[in-house]
Structure 1
Amino acid sequence: MTSIVIAAHNEAAVIGRCLDALLADTAPGEFDITVVANGCTDDTAAVAALRPGVRTVDLKKAGKAAALNAGDDAAVGFPRVYLDADVVLSSAAVRSLATALESSPAATVGRELDVTGRPVLVRAYYAIHGRLPVLRDGLFGRGVVAVSEKGRARFGRFPELVADDLYLDSQFAREEKAHLDEYTATIATPRRTGDLIRRLVRVRGGNTAMRAAAARGEITVPVRPADRSSWLRDVVLPRPWLAPAAACYVAITVTAAWSAKRAGDGGTAWGRDESSRTS
């Protein structure tokens, strides 16, 4: 039985949509779904509990790593799919991931960025970010990571790190990651420029903390290095018509780096690496 673990912090507005897509055409008992509401001040757990067959775990303290570990403790089957609460993924996609994991230890799907109604700076940022080649071969940037039982056995508990998807990506070599581009996860981009910058500050801090943990020997797998010039070399130079969007991209990443440095999150260079997440 495929188990799906969803860590959810104040996701009452979107968790129903996520679960309804998963359950749309499933047979009873086909999927084992656990929603771990962590540190919620809204009705995330209550909304999830309304869906038949969905297990809910309610943690008082917010924290994604603890939520993922609690979800693993409750889940009963393999393969295991880790899904973000704001991602819409079909039941057919989950079945295809399970099939792919028969020959690969890890798998994910394609991604579709929803920029509808977003301000011009947000759309410009994702015009660059959405074309980064790192997002084509990694497990991050989709909010969907699936692992086989053998793949899950490569690591123990999720560490207390923000960059959980980068951590999962680091467990597997490039050729071990199956990408099912015939299915997509719809990613909701930030609705305001300020929200995008705040998200980038968190991402930057999380990626930096993970690389620092690896340097200290606390994480023993090789962590994907940051590519500071990919946005220019791989995206803009082959597509000079993207130059105006690139100017916005640089402005946003500079602002996020400056904000991260002030916050003490460790972001020190504007090209450091906001490419290992969706935003």
Structure 2
Amino acid sequence: MTSIVIPAHNEGQVIGRLLDALLTGSDPGEVDIVVVCNGCTDDTAQVAALRGPAVRVLESPVPSKHAALRLGDEHARGFPRLYVDADVVLAGPDVRKLTAPLASAPDGGPADGPAVLATAPERELPMDGCAWRVRAYYRVWQQLPSVREGLFGRGVIAVSAAGYARLAALPPLMADDLAASLAFAPHERLVVRTALVRVLPPRTWADLIRRRIRAATSTTQLEQHQREAAGPDGAEQPAPSARTGKADLVALLRARPGLLPAMAVFLAAAVVARRKSRKAVSSQDFGTWLRDESSRQA
């Protein structure tokens, strides 16, 4: 049985659409869905419970995504296992496409052949209603190699039993999806292009900047953790990174010179976000979650 763990903090506006999509096209007993309402002050739990016995709802007073994921793991029943953000939309048939490459042997180990330990779907970013600068930003962002090949920024990751063991060893980090993606070597992870997740982008420039500040802050935290884990000899073997380098942008512009105006917007967002993240980084504040509300509005 495939288990799906959904951490949800005040997601009453959107949790219903995700659960309806997951249950559509799923056979009875095919998926085990666990919604972990962490520190909710809205009707997230009630909305989720309305979806019937196929959805189990847990409530925790702690508003922590990492704690919610671990609580969900304690109650999840099977593998492969999916971790899904409450504000995306993923359909039942796409769950099957994500779990197919994760076939495991009866003992829980990988099947014969190359071991794919983690998968994620292709992302759909509907831009209707988004400000022009937001659309320009994502025209560039979606073309970056690390964004196209990494498992992060999709709101969904599926793992085998062996892949779960890799994730369970990760510390609590803001950039949990980036850390999860980097925990697997390129041959161990797979973006399943035939599976699709709908990720709602921010609609306003201000909300985009809030997301980018959070990304810049959380990436810095991840890099600090990598340096500490590597120890004094870690410089000899650089840790994997998903940061966008100048070479990536130059190569993209050479291939698609028409992106120049959008590139200017992309760089402006990066500069503003990095500058505004300095306060949080300097105070080591890696717990304040700047949330984009515009993507959660009807």
Q: 1:199 to 1:158 in 2, by over 3 A?
A: same
What amino acid is the match of 1:32?
Answer: D
Q: Kindly report structure 1 stretches of 4+ aligned residues shifted beyond 6 Å.
A: 218-221
Q: TM-score, normalised by structure 2?
A: 0.84
1:94 corresponds in structure 2 to: 95
Query: How many correspondences in the alignment?
Result: 267
Amino acid at match of 1:226: R
Within the candidate set 131, 141, 148, 1:119 is matched to 131
Aligned pairs (5 A) from 1:103-182: 104-156=116-168, 158-182=170-194
Q: Conserved in 2, the CA contact under 8 Å of 1:211 and 1:223?
A: no
- The question of 1:234 aligning with 2:251 is answered yes
Distance 1:225 1:190 in 2: 21
1: CA distance between counterparts of 2:162 and 2:155? 21
Q: Retained in 1: the 8 A contact 2:142–2:148?
A: no
1:199-237 superposed Cα distances (whole Å, 9 cap, x missing partner) = 111111111101101111189994425232255223223
Q: Distance in 2 between matches of 1:187 and 1:156?
A: 25
Distance, in Å, in 2 between the alignment partners of 1:213 and 1:167 is 10
Partner-residue secondary structure (3-state), 2:208: helix
Corresponding residue number in structure 2 for 1:247: 264
* 1:54 pairs with 2:71: no
Query: Which residue number in structure 1 is paired with residue 86 of structure 2?
Result: 85
- What CA deviation, in whole Å up to 9, does each residue of 1:116-140 have, x standing for no partner? 1101111111011111111222111
- Deviations 1:131-163 (CA, angstroms, capped at 9, x unpaired): 111122211121111000121123435522111
CA RMSD, aligned part only? 2.1
Distance 2:267 2:51 in 1: 43
SS at 1:153's partner residue? helix
Q: TM-score, normalised by structure 1?
A: 0.90
C-alpha separation in 1, matches of 2:12 and 2:282: 28
* Structure label with greater radius of gyration: 2
Shift in alpha-carbon separation, 1:246–1:155, aligned structure 2, 3 A:
closer
What is the letter of the counterpart of residue 214 of structure 2? R
Structure 1 position 91, deviation (Å): 0.7
Contact 1:132-1:230 within 8 A present in 2 as well: no
Tell me what 1:190 maps to: 202
Quote how far apart the aligned CAs of 1:5 are. 0.6
Per-residue deviation, 1:265: 5.9
> Is the contact made by 1:68 and 1:158 (CA closer than 8 Å) also made in structure 2?
no
- Which residue number corresponds to residue 40 of structure 1? 40
| 1:23 to 2:23 alignment | yes
Q: Check conservation: 2:217, 2:280, Cα contact below 8 A.
A: no
Which residue of the partner structure matches residue 200 of structure 1? 212
Report the counterpart of residue 71 of structure 1 in structure 2: 72
Gaps of 5+ in 1: 268-279
State the distance in 1 between where 2:224 and 2:33 align: 33
SS in structure 1 of the partner of residue 89 of structure 2: coil
Is the contact between residue 80 and residue 161 of structure 2 (CA under 8 Å) also seen in structure 1?
A: yes
Contact 1:38 1:64 in 2 (8 A): yes
Q: Which amino acid aligns with 1:5?
A: V
Deviation at 1:61, TM superposition (A): 2.1
CA contact under 8 A between 1:135 and 1:141: conserved in structure 2? yes
Structure 2 segments unaligned to the other structure (5+ residues): 104-114, 285-298
Amino acid at match of 1:118: C
